[in-house]
Amino acid sequence: MEPEARYTLVGAIVLALVAAASAAYVWLAHGGGAAGYHFYAIHFENQSLDGLQLGSDVNMRGVKVGRVQEYSISRDNINRVEVVVRVDRETPVSRNTKAVIARNLVTGLARIDLVTPGTPGPELVEVMPGERYPLIPEGTSDLEQIAGALSRLTVTGESALSNLEQLLNAENRETLVGAVVAVRDLANGLDKRLERLDVAADSIRDTALAMQRSSHEIAASIGQVARDGSAALRDIQPIGRQAQSALADLSSAARALERESAAIAQRLESTADAGALELRATARELRQGAEQLSRAAERLRDPRAALLGPSPSQLGPGEKLP
């Protein structure tokens, strides 16, 4: 009886362990073990996952907040890798959070960094159609940007080298050498022309100095002439005043003579007919003399005409300057 009792006890214990294991599995499968975590899906298409493994870290701001749960290549798009990550429930994963790949340059191991630029948005809880978990969009890593820049630089360098090789072919080299020789000859010619320009500049400078000296001499001569003219005008002024007084006297004499001539003419007209013609001739001569005196008086009104002679506008009919 004792062996049967031991078998019964062992069987009961085994059944209890199996039941406990089954219960634990069911509990874990229904989220009992995942109650402290959230699962998210990430689709990587542009970044390489070299060095990423199951259990690799998931970081946010340098702090580990989860790990890689699973990953697989999509059947619909061979260039897309679907990764499932498990993240601590308290981690603030927002709609504007993005996932990027970061690597340790020493070990080559990769991790996933969750980056939230700016102010965090609403919490990411929505599950897209066809997905099991909320989808975190793929971001752009610094390494990827550097690699892209290096790739573009490489392409640009190859293109530049190709263009340089085409530029430096035999024909272009000959043309380039000819251009260099032409530039050298042009430089030599410019040197010679610059020497001539220096000589011309010296000549122009000497001419300018000579003109400056001449202008100073002319200015001095003009100043001397002006001073001499001023002295002459001062000497002429007394003569002008004397001429004006003489002009006044002549004008008075002319007027008196004209009055006397008119009176004599009137008296002669009343005389006898025999002497009328002679008296009229005498009167005409007196009038002519009066007119000459009047013209002399007009000339004396202008001291310059009295000293230097009449101007063309003061000449009488048929008169000319000597």
Which range scores top for mean pLDDT: 195-199, 226-230, 252-256, 285-289? 195-199
For residue 40, count other CB atoms closer than 10 A to its CB.
Answer: 25
Q: What is the mean pLDDT of the chain?
A: 76
pLDDT in tens, 109-137: 999 999 998 888 899 999 999 899 999 99
The pLDDT of residue 156 is above 80: yes
Beta sheet of 57-60, edge-to-edge order: 98-103, 110-115, 57-60, 63-73, 81-88, 37-44, 135-136
pTM of the predicted protein model: 0.41
CA separation for the pair 170, 179 (Å, rounded): 14
Helix (H, G, I), strand (E, B) or coil at 244: helix
CA separation for the pair 306, 242 (Å, rounded): 11
Q: What is the pLDDT of residue 55?
A: 93
CB 38 within 8 A of CB 91: yes
pLDDT in tens, 77-88: 999 999 999 999
pLDDT in tens, 270-313: 554 545 555 566 666 666 666 666 665 565 555 555 555 555 55
Does the CA dihedral 140-141-145-148 come out positive or negative?
negative
Band (3; pLDDT cuts 50, 70, 90): low
